């Protein structure tokens, strides 16, 4: 809705400036919020409902959880027992974060009292003169709005219904234009208290506490703290929508009127669970602004000073001005119970472990959470190998459960700002024992540490089998920049990823660093980041994994390595040799398929150039690096579960087979053709039967089971491109809180690249109609009763493995069929 004329826009701008000065002066004089100055805040989690009834949009993803802070306060704040408006403001960020992706400011009462610029001036004048009665009676709609929102001495902040004072636009995926309002209600449906009686409504301007009221002035704050101390406090955040129509009434956007709830039902948005009271200082430092909105929710444009939409735009700028002023004043607010904390910090000894950045810490315990406590001294502290100690006073949070570290990255323009922390120990004057928080990590920006008795120190986690590290350092120095049909560059990261094994047995990623060296532009991404930040970080890791999988795990370690054995067998072993006859079904097709691969896949202009981030030359570099770092021992790591079953079955069969033709180690040594075969690959021959069995097991397993495992599952795992993007078209992110759905879509492969990729993996996962599977030696030249018996026992062993895998798969949410013997081809045939 645009301004009627340029003069309306200019007038609105002038009124904004005037109101910014007025409210700025109030904030400057008291160092507090101009309204809702005395309040109580808590921190917790908001989880979007799993099956929303509202249209899908970018920010409110089903099941997504956000850290949130919620602050309750009364408008005048002088006395909780008087008749007043009660407020609830929620920000989708915790108290340690300055920026929030979404703030919703709400108040009791369905219609808003301030509906245009004039009503703001009228309200200010009424409170200055004390003539509230005239302010109410001059306008019947205004009078009704005040009655609807005023609450006299309610039992609790919790049992109220809070309504957003702004009508906003909602940008859903279906592109239908809609208006949206929010409200917050108690999850247990508690009855609303404090509603004005009929007599009180007739004299709504009489707002002082009743003479019979005995509760203290801040009883609502104390009741809310007590409620949190007994357990989590739960609300429901809801919204109501209006689909824009050409015949909408003129007052549909009037915030002084509420929509008909029969036509505009309230829909659940998120379950809000508050668990931790914030200290008065942390509560005072919270910033809320109606302008903090995601791209899918937006402020409607204002027509002029008399239009309701102008209120949101005025509030946005007034809040920015007053927040800057009051936070610079730092009002002297003290908690009820104070503790003295001695914080001992141990910086790591490694190179550049120290920092010159500003470091702060907040403490969370059984009774609440402190504000940011800054660690600083006149000495040159937080240097590598140093143990520094700080004594600070703050709210007594009880038993300390976790701490939050913040590194502001200051001085990064001339010194290394990152900080490697070994551990932090906190001693409270109100607690008997110290609290130790192991870290052993770089703190680049923000990090939360948990009490040592609750989790293992990070350095002990890998040894204890809880944490696994995947490091794709082999991608360092590998050329990027293959070109697609539109001649756009390709990108790849070289990530390090930490995985954690949960008690359920699930392996989950917990941290991703996209490049090898920590820096200001290389943050550590965690599940605590925004939904799209973490999603894109995981996509970058999967993209890197795909490059290494295709060129290293798949092509080099199955196709090309097995080709070396195929060439040696054809060179050195006659066709009547038993080892040649044994290996023939496994090696028969590898050279042919590799010839096709060299011409179609990895050649210049081939499929790799189209479907890999490192195509266009980098894929050859990675192949060469993988082969250079290869050691023969790598072939004898079969993996777990199904792979180990197959490895043992193959090894047992080959042990029996070799014993038929080689009675002793001396027979192996004297077989000059066999020794020439081995020497073709390896400098020295094998002197023992066990070594021959091991070599043959590596070849048979590599051609059959290993190739089946790394190749035939590709369509299921990589056919849906966002799960494993083969190509990335934008550079990796360097800052948090900037990724949107559009960023992700622009980064993922184009339709052209996706088409080539899906067609390629589809082809690679097909099997020939006449395919022969492991254990099938019907086309081999092997003969003799002993050999036939050994093959028969091998086939029986494979059948038992097949039965065991099928039985196991019945109980799995995601069955693993790729090493079922009847699905494992004998050779590398595709």
Q: Are residues 554 and 657 in the same domain?
A: yes
pLDDT of residue 30: 78
Let me know whether 645 and 713 are in one domain. Answer: yes
User: Both 632 and 710 in a single domain?
Assistant: yes
284, 356: one domain: no
Residue where a domain stops, chosen among 430, 450, 470: 450
- What is the phi-psi region of residue 263: left when phi exceeds 0, alpha when psi lies from -120 to 50, beta otherwise? alpha
Instruction: Tell whether 474 is covered by a domain.
Output: no
DSSP-assigned letter for residue 173: T
Domain count, the chain: 3
- The pair of three-digit structure tokens given for residue 308, joined into one six-digit string: 């309701």
Cβ neighbours for 293, distance < 8 A, ≥ 6 positions apart: 101, 102, 103, 168, 299
**pLDDT means over runs of 10, the chain (830 residues):** 63 90 88 90 94 93 91 94 97 88 96 91 90 90 94 98 96 95 97 96 94 95 95 96 93 92 96 95 93 95 86 93 82 82 92 84 93 81 89 93 85 63 93 89 82 49 68 93 60 93 81 88 84 93 97 94 93 92 93 94 92 93 92 78 94 95 92 89 71 92 95 94 96 90 94 95 92 90 90 96 95 92 94
Q: Which residues pair with 395 in a beta bridge?
A: 338
819: Cβ–Cβ under 8 A, 6 or more apart, which residues?
642, 643, 645, 646, 705, 708, 709, 805
Say yes or no: 620 and 507 in one domain: yes
CATH number, residue 419 = 2.60.60.20
In a domain? residue 461? no
Flag whether 534 is in a domain: yes
Cβ–Cβ under 8 Å, residues 510 and 497: no
- CATH at 787: 1.20.245.10
Domain's final residue, options 429, 450, 471: 450
pLDDT for residue 455? 41
Tokens at residue 475, please?
Answer: 């991608």
| Number of neighbours of residue 170 by Cβ within 10 angstroms | 21
Torsion sign over Cα 453, 458, 464, 467: positive
Q: Which residue has the tokens 């108690």?
A: 186
408 shares a domain with 298: no
Q: What is the CATH number of the domain that holds 263?
A: 2.40.180.10
pLDDT at 335: 83
Asked if 649 and 579 sit in the same domain, the reply is yes
Residue 489 and residue 386 share a domain: no
Same domain, 238 and 358: no
Q: What is the DSSP string of 604-657?
A: TTSHHHHH-TTTTTHHHHHHHHHHHT--GGGGG---STHHHHHHHHHHHHHHHH
- 541 within a domain of the structure (yes/no): yes
**φ and ψ of 651, to 5 deg:** -60, -40
Looking at the domain assignment, is residue 311 inside a domain? yes
Alpha-helical runs (H) found in 172-239: 198-202, 219-229
Strand-strand pairing, 233-243 and 387-395 = unpaired
Nearest to 52 by CA among 284, 181, 239: 239
**Structure confidence at residue 683 (pLDDT):** 64
Give the structural domain span for 295: 37-316
Shared domain check, 437 and 499: no
| 533 and 446 both lie in a single domain | no
The answer to whether the CB of 616 falls within 8 A of the CB of 481 is yes
Q: Which of 402, 431, 450 is the last residue of a domain?
A: 450
**Residue 180 domain-assigned?**
yes
Query: Which SS3 state, helix, strand or coil, does residue 206 take?
Result: coil
In a domain, residue 346? The reply is yes
CA distance 391 to 403: 16
**Does some domain include residue 722?**
yes
The token duo for 335 is: 């908690």
Q: What are phi and psi of 516, to 5 degrees?
A: -70, -35
Looking at the fold, whether 208 and 83 belong to one and the same domain comes out as yes
Of the candidates 405, 415, 449, 69, the one whose C-alpha atom is nearest the C-alpha of residue 235 is 69
H-helix segments, 132-180: 132-137, 140-149
Count the alpha carbons within 13 Å of 213 in the hemisphere toward its beta carbon.
19
Residues whose CB falls within 8 Å of the CB of residue 651, separated by 6 or more in sequence, listed in order: 693, 694, 697
């Amino acid at each position: 809705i645009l301004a009627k004329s340029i003069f309306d826009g200019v007038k609105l701008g002038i009124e904004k400036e005037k109101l910014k000065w007025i409210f700025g002066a109030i904030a400057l004089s008291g160092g507090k919020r101009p309204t809702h100055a005395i309040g109580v805040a808590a921190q917790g989690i908001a989880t979007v409902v799993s099956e929303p009834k509202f249209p899908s949009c970018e920010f409110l993803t089903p099941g997504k959880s956000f850290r949130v802070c919620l602050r309750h306060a009364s408008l005048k704040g002088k006395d909780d027992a008087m008749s007043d408006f009660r407020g609830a403001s929620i920000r989708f960020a915790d108290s340690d974060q300055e920026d929030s992706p979404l703030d919703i400011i709400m108040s009791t009462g369905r219609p808003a009292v301030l509906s245009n610029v004039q009503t703001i001036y009228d309200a200010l004048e009424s409170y200055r003169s004390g003539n509230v009665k005239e302010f109410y009676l001059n306008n019947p709609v205004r009078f009704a709005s005040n009655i609807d929102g005023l609450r006299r001495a309610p039992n609790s902040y919790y049992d109220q219904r809070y309504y957003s004072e702004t009508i906003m636009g909602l940008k859903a995926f279906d592109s239908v234009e809609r208006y949206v309002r929010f409200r917050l209600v108690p999850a247990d449906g508690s009855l609303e208290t404090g509603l004005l009686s009929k007599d009180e409504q007739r004299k709504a301007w009489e707002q002082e506490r009743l003479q019979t009221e005995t509760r203290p002035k801040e009883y609502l704050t104390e009741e809310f703290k007590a409620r949190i101390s007994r357990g989590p406090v739960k609300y429901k955040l809801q919204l109501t929508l209006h689909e824009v129509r050409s015949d909408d009434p003129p007052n549909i956007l009037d915030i002084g009127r509420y929509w008909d709830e029969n036509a505009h039902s309230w829909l659940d948005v998120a379950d809000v669970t508050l668990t931790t009271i914030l200290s008065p200082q942390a509560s005072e430092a919270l910033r809320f602004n109606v302008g903090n909105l995601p791209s899918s929710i937006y402020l409607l444009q204002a027509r002029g000073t008399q239009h309701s939409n102008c209120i949101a735009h005025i509030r946005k700028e007034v809040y920015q001005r007053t927040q800057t002023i009051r936070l610079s004043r730092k009002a002297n607010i003290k908690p009820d119970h104070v503790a003295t904390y001695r914080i001992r910090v141990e910086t790591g000894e490694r190179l550049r472990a120290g920092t010159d950045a500003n470091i702060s810490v907040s403490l969370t315990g059984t009774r609440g959470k402190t504000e940011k406590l800054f660690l600083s001294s006149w000495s040159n502290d937080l240097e590598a190998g140093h143990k520094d100690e700080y004594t600070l006073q703050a709210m007594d949070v009880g038993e300390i459960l976790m701490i939050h570290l913040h590194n502001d990255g200051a001085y990064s323009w001339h010194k290394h700002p990152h900080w490697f922390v070994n551990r932090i120990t906190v001693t409270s004057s109100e607690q008997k024992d110290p609290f130790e928080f192991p870290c052993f990590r770089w703190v680049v920006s923000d990090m939360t540490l948990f009490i040592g008795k609750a989790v293992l120190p990070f350095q002990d986690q890998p040894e204890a089998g809880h944490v696994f590290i995947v490091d794709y350092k082999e991608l360092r120095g590998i050329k990027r920049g293959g070109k697609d049909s539109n001649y756009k560059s390709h990108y790849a990261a070289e990530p390090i990823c930490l995985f954690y094994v949960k008690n359920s047995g699930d392996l989950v990623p917990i941290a991703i660093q996209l490049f090898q060296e920590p820096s200001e532009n290389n943050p550590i991404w965690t599940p605590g980041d925004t939904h799209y930040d973490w999603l894109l970080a995981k996509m970058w890791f999967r993209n890197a994994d795909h490059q290494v999988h295709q060129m290293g795990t798949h092509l080099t370690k199955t196709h090309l390595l097995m080709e070396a054995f195929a060439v040696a067998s054809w060179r050195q072993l006659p066709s009547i040799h038993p080892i040649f006859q044994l290996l023939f079904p496994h090696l028969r097709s590898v050279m042919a398929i590799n010839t096709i691969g060299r011409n179609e896949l990895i050649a210049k202009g081939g499929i790799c150039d189209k479907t890999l981030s490192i195509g266009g030359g980098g894929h050859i570099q990675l192949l060469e690096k993988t082969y250079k770092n290869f050691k023969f021992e790598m072939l004898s790591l079969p993996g777990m579960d199904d792979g180990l079953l197959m490895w043992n079955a193959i090894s047992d069969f080959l042990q029996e087979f070799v014993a038929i033709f080689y009675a002793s180690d001396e027979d192996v040594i004297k077989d000059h053709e066999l020794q020439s075969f081995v020497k073709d690959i390896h400098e020295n021959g094998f002197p023992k039967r066990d070594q021959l069995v091991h070599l043959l097991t590596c070849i048979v397993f590599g051609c059959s089971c290993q190739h089946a495992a790394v190749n035939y599952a590709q369509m299921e795992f990589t056919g849906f491109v966002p799960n494993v993007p083969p190509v990335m078209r934008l550079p990796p992110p360097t800052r948090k809180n900037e990724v949107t759905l559009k960023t992700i879509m622009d980064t993922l492969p184009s339709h052209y690249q996706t088409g080539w990729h899906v067609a390629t993996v589809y082809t690679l996962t097909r099997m020939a109609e006449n395919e022969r599977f492991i254990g099938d030696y019907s086309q081999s030249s092997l003969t003799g009763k002993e050999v036939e018996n050994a093959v028969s026992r091998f086939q029986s062993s494979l059948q038992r493995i097949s039965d065991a895998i099928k039985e196991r798969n019945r109980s799995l949410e995601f069955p693993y069929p790729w090493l079922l013997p009847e699905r494992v081809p004998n050779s590398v045939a595709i």
